[in-house]
Structure 1
């Protein structure tokens, strides 16, 4: 009788495991610093988590008011050989560029951008098949931005991707769907930066996310997912945010000679006036720390995965590896988070 019981349990476990759908998602990292230089630990993480797949920001395009034209900035420099063959170039374009650009200048910008990208990639012997564009377009700029994408596609003969914000998911009829092969949903920066210590984390919080995610299955493009790895501190003085600092984290805020914790979680008050890293901190200034850790990413992944089709192949892109605190995340963490998709 006992043997029969164990046999039934074994059969049930086997059936359940066979019904469980394996994740088809793979992983990748962004690299957003101007100089490409990865240390040994970063190289190891890139290989173990993403098999070397790296979304590399090549340059920004901004409007130069003095010259009256669009201009490339922060062009990537390579201080080491490219050790991975899985490079996807990323180009960031400010919305102001398309606000200022004439319709006739759109095609010219697409041509110049393609030429610069080809030149940079050829110099490093990077053979890319995709290009990703990051631009937070608006109703007033969508026609010019979409024309830019169409022209770039014709010139480059590459697969194109575009970053998509949550509001562009929810209001896709108004904001339009970019003419690209795939979108990349930026699942972060969903709340407003707030000086109120009681307000939630603006990088990710489930309440703000819940107002958008039900619209995701209806979006008109297949979507990859971008998740945050960054944290920052909001510098607050007299009830106003005066700056946001990525380099001031818990380690700096835990120095008792400079700060003391307040009654609010992750909010610290300066106990004296001083300088740190060229930043002036005044007595009674507040620093509101908004962090990203594994627990937050697990919560985000769990909430988001419920609205995605696991049968669709997708990439989970983590932003970003260049400034990642390697003591905070391990290889196993990323594999467990990606497994939700």
Structure 2
């Protein structure tokens, strides 16, 4: 048997350790615009039990109309008092997150983007004072599905936001711009969060789980290629159901556990409603309606983590963020499973 030289052995060991994550900051996204007080205690317990370091809280979204121009919508229901004990300082960092629709950058001039940067910063400061008791904020995250055609305007906005806010700026990064930075550009920010979910348009492929399809995920990962910016990771811990009535898509339901008893499986991912029922006094399901149930199990998340560890070059210290903090969705996982969604990155 041919011997391996000590030098080659050293290189092999060094390269195998290069991608080793040594520390993970546990985080959640908070994406709710309304919230029931009954859920606070359970969600508080999750934050405590999972040693959460950060909460990325969606403060609002920015949309566009010809009549109004750019305007904020979907304001957060988050309140610091709901998740912290009285007279005790928050044990986690809160990062204001703003989702901006791509149409904003299709329609806006540079002058309007200058104003948008000022307005976003103003609203973040306003909400910080009102909902976070003037908590010190050091980072802002911008969430946008930018395209090659809107890249110039989006990057211009990000460059303007940095000096206006005087804060660290991070952005979400979908898998397509992650794989093709030459085509899509690298955002002019401090760091990015790789969004490892919502890989497929929910309505285009009836045979695949649009939230997380492992083959689709792997197709975007390039072994050995390091992204030019610090890379954090976001994973899904939610499931949903797409409702089809008379073979036409009518909406998405998130309270999947309530609906399950009324369904009969007809093929992979697909179910049929077997009893007329009303969900939350708003959605009426009739016998024969079709439902596509896209479920995210703990095992699927473990497999996604293994793919990411194998194919993505990560720094020694990263933040792993789960989407999102919601008691109804998180009851589908044990405390131990949630813990492993973080700890598996260091194993």
Note closer, same or farther for the CA distance 1:219–1:324 as it changes in structure 2 (3 Å cut): farther
Distance apart, 1:235 and its partner CA: 1.5
> Which residue of structure 2 lines up, in the alignment, with residue 76 of structure 1?
76
Q: Is the 8 A contact 1:55 1:89 kept in 2?
A: yes
> Which residue of structure 2 lines up, in the alignment, with residue 4 of structure 1?
none
Q: Is the 8 A contact 1:26 1:316 kept in 2?
A: yes
CA offsets, 1:27-46, max 9 Å, x none? 10010112476511211211
The 5 Å alignment of 1:1-341 reads 23-35=22-34, 39-67=40-68, 69-79=69-79, 81=81, 83=84, 84=90, 85-123=92-130, 124-194=133-203, 199-214=207-222, 217-247=225-255, 249-255=256-262, 259-262=263-266, 264-271=267-274, 275-277=278-280, 278-309=282-313, 311-341=315-345
| 2-structure distance, mates of 1:305, 1:53 | 22
CA offsets, 1:306-331, max 9 Å, x none? 12345521110000013543432233
Structure number with bigger Rg = 1
Give unpaired runs (5+ residues) of structure 1. Answer: 1-18
Q: Is the 8 A contact 1:195 1:240 kept in 2?
A: no
Distance apart, 1:169 and its partner CA: 1.0
| 1-structure distance, mates of 2:249, 2:224 | 32
CA offsets, 1:9-39, max 9 Å, x none? xxxxxxxxxx9x6742221001011247651
| 2-structure distance, mates of 1:122, 1:273 | 47
Note closer, same or farther for the CA distance 1:186–1:240 as it changes in structure 2 (3 Å cut): same
| 2-structure distance, mates of 1:148, 1:74 | 21
Q: Is the 8 A contact 1:230 1:324 kept in 2?
A: no
Distance apart, 1:57 and its partner CA: 0.9
| 2-structure distance, mates of 1:326, 1:152 | 34
Greater shift after overlay, 209-218 or 290-299? 209-218
Q: Is the 8 A contact 2:141 2:171 kept in 1?
A: yes
Note closer, same or farther for the CA distance 1:215–1:131 as it changes in structure 2 (3 Å cut): farther
Aligned residues: 316
Distance apart, 1:236 and its partner CA: 2.5
Distance apart, 1:64 and its partner CA: 3.1
> Which residue of structure 1 lines up, in the alignment, with residue 87 of structure 2?
none
Q: Is the 8 A contact 1:59 1:73 kept in 2?
A: yes
| 2-structure distance, mates of 1:26, 1:298 | 18
Give unpaired runs (5+ residues) of structure 2. Answer: 1-16, 85-89
| 2-structure distance, mates of 1:78, 1:238 | 38
Q: Is the 8 A contact 1:110 1:151 kept in 2?
A: yes
SS, match of residue 145 in structure 1? helix
Superposition RMSD in Å: 2.4
